[in-house]
């Protein structure tokens, strides 16, 4: 029996894993310790083990690694649990990639319960390079079987605030694994064939990010903070602290009830990086504080035009100037071997665009570089009757990136009619 996973359309980009390697945008300002629990026992074939290693690297590839960003480690499930490397040993993409590549299978028994108890010790150990007040994530990749009990050590981990994701490449016991994963299981438990692991990579990563504090709706003077529902009105409250990174003494503090999952911070300075901390206060469960860094946008002077006499024209133009590109991607002029891709808006802060395209059902894609002043390009040399996934990525002068995807069909036959 399989757990059917509903995939958003953007996951189709992972049908192009090799192109994504070069073009994936970086994810920064995401602090946390990610521990992989890797089934290294004799029940796993060499081929399966190598595919799981590829999946592990694909999952963490976009993150920025370092003492103030993401750290990762691996614990082998075998007769005796073994740590492959501590959290603080490899703090760059290249070093983490090589360390995962060099990981060798240990064979032995599948003593997952022992490995979970060992993981609990290392996730909170200074000797293992773990940090005391950052989000803890456990990713357990398994063929679905264990030689010992996992329920008690897994519950202890979750009680200490660890978010548990389980990826089963075998049949496994759905009831047992759904109880072991963090709730809800549809977001934290995945059943997938080992060859299809790339299909779930982005969804799993997005859920990892959604399970922590992050900022949206960023303008030059405000941003909105959102976080997962950790507490309730009855079980506690949240303390939020924020200050410019270059003036931490100017820290401001506010509190909201446990029923809240978002808060807008306003009256901020433009083009300023803020250090933000979310501290869940509860007498029921311990939750690690979560921190992020958020940079407000450059302040834009009001746009004035003699033709703008509407009462709300001023506020509309200011909002427009703060939009993040691309806000929309349009496909037009579709022909058997080409189509046009357009996007908007095109703010001055964008230096260039990358247009990545490839067949929706295929394993190849191509990249077009477009100047930041342009808002369209023609994609040519395409196959007729074919559905393509097109992703437009804006490269900002600050180094940040934003992507948006759309489907496109070349003309002829049923494809054109369906699209």
- Read off the CATH number of the domain in which 190 is found: 3.40.50.410
d(CA 214, CA 291): 9
Same domain, 289 and 343: no
Could you tell me the two tokens for 218? 């960023």
Order of all β-strands in the sheet with 401-409: 366-371, 350-359, 387-396, 401-409
Give the rounded percent of residues in the chain with a pLDDT score beyond 70. 84
Residue 72 pLDDT greater than 50, yes or no: yes
Q: What is the mean pLDDT of residues 88-110?
A: 94
Domain boundary among 178, 194, 210: 210
Domain of 80 in residue numbering reads as: 9-210
Same domain, 222 and 199: no
Over the stretch 220-264, which tens digit does the pLDDT of each residue have? 889 989 887 788 888 889 999 999 999 999 999 999 988 888 899
Same domain, 289 and 363: no
Q: Does the residue 300 lie in any domain?
A: no
Bridge partner list, 206 = none
At residue 388 the predicted structure's pLDDT band, cuts being 50, 70 and 90, is confident
Over the stretch 258-294, which tens digit does the pLDDT of each residue have? 888 889 999 999 889 999 989 988 887 777 788 888 8
Q: Does the residue 318 lie in any domain?
A: no
Contact 243, 249 (CB under 8 A): yes
The closest of 418, 396, 417, 406 to 376, measured between CA atoms, is 406
Same domain, 261 and 408: no
What is the per-residue pLDDT for 310? 36
Other beta carbons less than 10 A from residue 132's beta carbon: 9
Structure-model confidence comparison of residues 362 and 9, the more confident one: 362
Q: Does the residue 291 lie in any domain?
A: yes
Over the stretch 337-358, which tens digit does the pLDDT of each residue have? 999 998 888 888 888 999 989 8
Same domain, 206 and 225: no
Residue 2 pLDDT greater than 60, yes or no: no
Residue 307 pLDDT greater than 70, yes or no: no
What is the per-residue pLDDT for 9? 30
Q: Does the residue 313 lie in any domain?
A: no
Same domain, 237 and 172: no
Peptide bond into 14 cis (omega under 30): no
Number of compact structural domains in the chain: 3
Return the residue matching tokens 């949206």.
216
**Weakest mean pLDDT among 77-86, 279-288, 299-308, 408-417:** 299-308
Q: What is the mean pLDDT of residues 313-328?
A: 50
Instruction: Tell me which long-range contacts 156-159 makes (C-beta under 8 A, separation of at least 24).
Output: 156/117, 156/120, 157/116, 157/119, 157/120, 157/123, 158/182, 159/285, 159/286
d(CA 218, CA 282): 29
Contact 340, 332 (CB under 8 A): yes
What is the per-residue pLDDT for 26? 57
Burial class (CB in 10 A: 0-12, 13-18, 19+), 70: buried
Residue 96 pLDDT greater than 70, yes or no: yes
What is the per-residue pLDDT for 232? 83
Same domain, 132 and 272: no
Residue 416 pLDDT greater than 50, yes or no: no
At residue 135 the predicted structure's pLDDT band, cuts being 50, 70 and 90, is confident
Same domain, 366 and 241: no
């Amino acid at each position: 029996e399989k757990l059917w996973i509903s995939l958003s359309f953007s996951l189709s980009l992972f049908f192009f894993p090799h192109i994504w390697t070069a073009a994936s945008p970086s994810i920064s300002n995401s602090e946390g310790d990610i521990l992989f629990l890797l089934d290294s026992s004799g029940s796993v074939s060499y081929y399966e083990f190598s595919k799981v290693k590829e999946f592990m690297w694909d999952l963490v590839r976009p993150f920025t690694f370092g003492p103030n960003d993401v750290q990762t480690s691996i614990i082998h499930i075998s007769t005796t649990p073994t740590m492959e490397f501590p959290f603080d040993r490899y703090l760059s993409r290249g070093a983490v990639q090589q360390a995962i590549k060099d990981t060798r299978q240990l064979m032995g028994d599948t003593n997952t319960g022992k490995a979970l108890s060992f993981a609990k010790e290392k996730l909170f150990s200074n000797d293992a390079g773990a940090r005391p007040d950052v989000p803890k994530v456990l990713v357990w990749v398994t063929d679905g079987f264990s030689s010992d009990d996992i329920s008690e050590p897994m519950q202890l981990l979750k009680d200490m605030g660890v978010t548990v994701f389980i990826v089963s490449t075998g049949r496994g016991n759905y009831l047992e694994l759904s109880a072991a994963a963090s709730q809800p299981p549809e977001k934290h438990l995945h059943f997938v064939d080992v060859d299809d692991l790339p299909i779930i990579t982005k969804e799993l990563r997005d859920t990892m990010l959604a399970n922590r504090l992050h900022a949206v709706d960023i303008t030059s003077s405000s941003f909105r903070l959102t976080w997962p529902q950790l507490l309730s009105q009855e079980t506690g409250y949240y303390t939020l602290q924020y200050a410019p990174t270059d003036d931490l003494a100017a820290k401001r503090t506010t509190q909201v009830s446990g029923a809240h999952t978002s808060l807008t911070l306003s009256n901020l300075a433009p083009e300023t990086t803020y250090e933000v901390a979310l501290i869940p206060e509860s007498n029921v469960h311990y939750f690690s504080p979560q921190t992020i860094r958020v940079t407000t946008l450059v302040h834009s002077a009001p746009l004035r035009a003699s033709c703008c006499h509407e009462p709300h024209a001023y506020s509309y133009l200011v909002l427009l100037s703060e939009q993040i590109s691309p806000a929309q991607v349009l496909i037009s002029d579709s022909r058997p071997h080409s189509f046009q891709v357009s996007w908007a808006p095109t703010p001055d802060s964008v230096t260039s665009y990358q247009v990545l395209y490839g067949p929706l059902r295929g394993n190849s894609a191509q990249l077009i570089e477009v100047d930041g002043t342009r808002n369209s390009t023609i994609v040519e040399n395409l196959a007729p009757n074919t559905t393509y996934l097109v992703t437009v990525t804006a490269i900002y002068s600050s180094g940040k990136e934003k992507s948006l995807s759309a489907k496109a069909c070349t003309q002829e036959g049923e494809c054109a009619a369906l699209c």
